[in-house]
């Protein structure tokens, strides 16, 4: 069996994590700061979420084409920053659920602006108020109606004589999130799954340089070993993982690269 060396990349390489926050970050103040912390290069966001090259840049910071400027979907204004914060990564994860909607995602921007003002946060799509509070769905519904959001991009759907429900893409995103414990203070996304239906592949900005992992082992490393011809059972034994975890890592890597 051939071991694959996976050293940390040059931190100036924008295809990989810019910086990992210290693992002893525990206070709520630190968690709030984490949402604002530059964590990923824009190309890295594309790679992790399986997006075509340049997508994260367009969604997060806008772009220019034919001499015309197009605003970002996520940022309030274009900044030119080559990195994404944890909060921006979370919101890009949600947009990725709508990549096949057939409607330009820039049309989500007005609804996001309404929610940003209503919730008084730069990251309304990463807010516990949106996803955990009783009135979250109704807040989103009102924002959608206020801007006449295209139904293909709805986060909330309302069927006749029923309470508002999360749309399927929004619910898949909601299921992908894990939150800081409820201790009487504001809650924030602590980790997420790049694909909701692969539950053991997770992304934690405080560990593994923010890369997808199974039980602390980077899925990229497992994928490299499989491509090199190492049997999954051998990889599982080497990293003391259940075979099912190796299979999930391989499945994620295949879907990401598709």
Q: Could you report the per-residue pLDDT of 173-204, keeping only the tens digit for each? A: 999 999 988 776 678 899 999 999 999 999 99
Q: What is the pLDDT, as a whole number, of residue 27?
A: 45
Q: What is the pLDDT, as a whole number, of residue 193?
A: 97
Q: What is the pLDDT, as a whole number, of residue 146?
A: 97
Q: pLDDT tens-digit profile of 137-177?
A: 999 999 999 999 999 999 999 987 788 999 999 999 999 99
- Estimate to the nearest angstrom the gap between the alpha carbon of 70 and the chain centroid: 22
Point out the residues of the chain with pLDDT beneath 50. Answer: 1-31
Phi-psi label, residue 17: left if phi above 0, alpha if psi -120 to 50, beta otherwise: beta
User: Whose CA is closest to 153, among 139, 143, 163?
Assistant: 143
Q: What is the pLDDT, as a whole number, of residue 32?
A: 52
Model's pTM, two decimal places? Answer: 0.86
Q: Are 190 and 179 in contact (CB under 8 A)?
A: yes
């Amino acid at each position: 069996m051939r071991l694959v060396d996976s050293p940390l990349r040059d931190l100036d390489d924008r295809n990989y994590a810019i910086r990992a926050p210290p693992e002893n970050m525990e206070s709520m103040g630190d968690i709030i700061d984490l949402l604002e912390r530059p964590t990923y290069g824009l190309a890295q966001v594309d790679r992790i979420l399986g997006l075509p090259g340049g997508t994260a840049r367009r969604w997060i910071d806008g772009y220019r084409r034919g001499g015309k400027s197009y605003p970002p979907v996520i940022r309030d204004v274009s900044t030119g920053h080559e990195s994404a914060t944890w909060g921006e990564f979370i919101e890009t994860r949600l947009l990725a659920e709508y990549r096949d909607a057939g409607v330009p995602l820039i049309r989500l921007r007005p609804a996001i602006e309404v929610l940003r003002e209503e919730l008084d946060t730069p990251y309304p799509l990463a807010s516990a108020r949106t996803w955990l509070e009783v009135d979250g769905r109704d807040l989103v519904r009102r924002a959608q109606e206020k801007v006449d959001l295209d139904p293909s991009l709805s986060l909330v759907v309302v069927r006749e004589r029923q309470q508002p429900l999360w749309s399927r893409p929004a619910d898949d995103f909601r299921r992908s999130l894990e939150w800081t414990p409820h201790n009487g203070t504001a809650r924030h996304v602590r980790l997420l799954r790049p694909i909701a239906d692969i539950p053991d592949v997770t992304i934690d900005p405080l560990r593994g340089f923010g890369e997808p992992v199974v039980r602390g082992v980077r899925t990229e490393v497992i994928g490299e070993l499989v491509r090199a011809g190492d049997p999954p059972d051998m990889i599982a034994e080497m990293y003391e993982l259940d075979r099912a975890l190796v299979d999930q890592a391989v499945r994620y890597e295949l879907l990401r690269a598709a």
